[in-house]
Chain A
């Protein structure tokens, strides 16, 4: 039995003081999911707290079954809470009105710069993380949500579709567009020197 399974069993038996230890490894991912939906730090944090409380107070944890993945289950509850908050929040209605409908037709990449792999170590730099986060934030909500759930939270297509209440075909379409748009956005950033201090070979481009 893994440590996580032991913690789940203990919490289910009433040792609630162990709950934070159980959820702590997933704090970042829970927050990222809430933020992707709400786009506001304070609201996302508030939703995370409410979701964690709901897990225990509404006795969700008693319903958790070992065959499910705990992190996915936890994030699913947070996503539901964030979606409810978004529906309730008047400011989001404004965003909804401004949002463009699903784009018709194919997306054509704009930049064909030679690619060279960016080492993962680049993420140690706050500037790089910030640039990636800014690019993600510019996507329309429907593309951003799908991208975060599939490519950041590593949910599968079916799980993403169920969480957002859309078809798997829509997930695939939005995911394709999100990935290609992000790639173009970051390629443009490269032209402006975002990664200029990274240890790339002279004359090569990462995107």
Chain B
């Protein structure tokens, strides 16, 4: 059996999967011995499968593991309802609250992205949010008013606020003062809510 280059390209994936009848496989092997182009395609394809199949290709966003562990601790371990679980949660909450208070009292403030930037009351500190370059707001992933989506970065709400970002008044609405949020919502898309509106919403 003789196979053409076109047939080889059509079957090359099955060849690598070893998913073909022995006759065709022998014919392809014979073809590779005499065709430099098809050998280049075969080896290049085999090479990329090996590289992409390497575990090192899976790169996690910065802080992913930490956020996942916290998420599971908060939602799975604590929600069990056992005495030790509640106790650990209560102690952890007190410790976190104390350390935050302590940190606020001596940590120098970073430059704010906006003069309107303040802590967002009611926003879970470990909540996963996104920010983008050149804007002042942080958003729930998938928020409709995210600008520069190709330059977005994932972090926690606490980290975003620490970096001076302000909550988006549209997607973070449920955590904010709703009346204030409604007034400022129209401006949220342009990232230019007034100081009074932002403060009212955060109050």
Inter-subunit contact B56/A129 (CB<8 Å): yes
CB-defined contacts of B21 to chain A, threshold 8 Å: none
B125 to chain A, nearest CB (A): 15
Inter-subunit contact B68/A123 (CB<8 Å): no
Inter-subunit contact B57/A186 (CB<8 Å): no
Inter-subunit contact B142/A52 (CB<8 Å): no
Interface SS majority for chain A: helix
A: interface residue count bin: 35 or more
CB-defined contacts of B36 to chain A, threshold 8 Å: 112, 114
Inter-subunit contact B80/A16 (CB<8 Å): yes
**Given the contacts A45-B128, A106-B6, A183 and B52 also touching, CB distance less than 8 Å:** no
Inter-subunit contact A207/B13 (CB<8 Å): no
A146 to chain B, nearest CB (A): 11
Inter-subunit contact B76/A16 (CB<8 Å): yes
Q: Which of A88-143 contact B (CB under 8 A)?
A: 89-91, 106-109, 112-115, 117-118, 120, 122-124, 129, 132-133, 136
A109 to chain B, nearest CB (A): 5
Inter-subunit contact B142/A132 (CB<8 Å): no
- Over the window 46-62 of chain A, the binary record of Cβ atoms lying under 8 Å from chain B Cβ atoms (1 yes, 0 no) is 10110011001100000
A32 at the interface (CB under 8 A from B): yes
A48 to chain B, nearest CB (A): 7
B106 at the interface (CB under 8 A from A): no
B47 at the interface (CB under 8 A from A): yes
Inter-chain CB contacts under 8 Å: number = 167
Name the residue on B nearest A154 (C-beta): B53
Inter-subunit contact A172/B59 (CB<8 Å): no
B141 at the interface (CB under 8 A from A): yes
A4 at the interface (CB under 8 A from B): no
Interface SS majority for chain B: helix
- Over the window 163-179 of chain A, the binary record of Cβ atoms lying under 8 Å from chain B Cβ atoms (1 yes, 0 no) is 00000000010011001
Tell me the B residues contacting A by CB distance below 8 Å.
6, 9-10, 12-14, 16-17, 19, 36-37, 39-41, 43-45, 47-61, 64-65, 67-69, 71-73, 75-77, 79-80, 128-130, 141-142, 144, 149, 152, 154
Could you write out 15 A-B pairs with CB less than 8 Å apart?
A19-B76, A19-B77, A31-B58, A42-B141, A45-B128, A106-B6, A112-B41, A113-B44, A120-B54, A129-B57, A132-B48, A151-B53, A172-B14, A183-B41, A206-B44
Tell me the A residues contacting B by CB distance below 8 Å.
14, 16-17, 19-20, 24, 27-29, 31-32, 40-43, 45-46, 48-49, 52-53, 56-57, 89-91, 106-109, 112-115, 117-118, 120, 122-124, 129, 132-133, 136, 147, 151-152, 154, 157, 172, 175-176, 179-180, 182-183, 186-187, 206-207
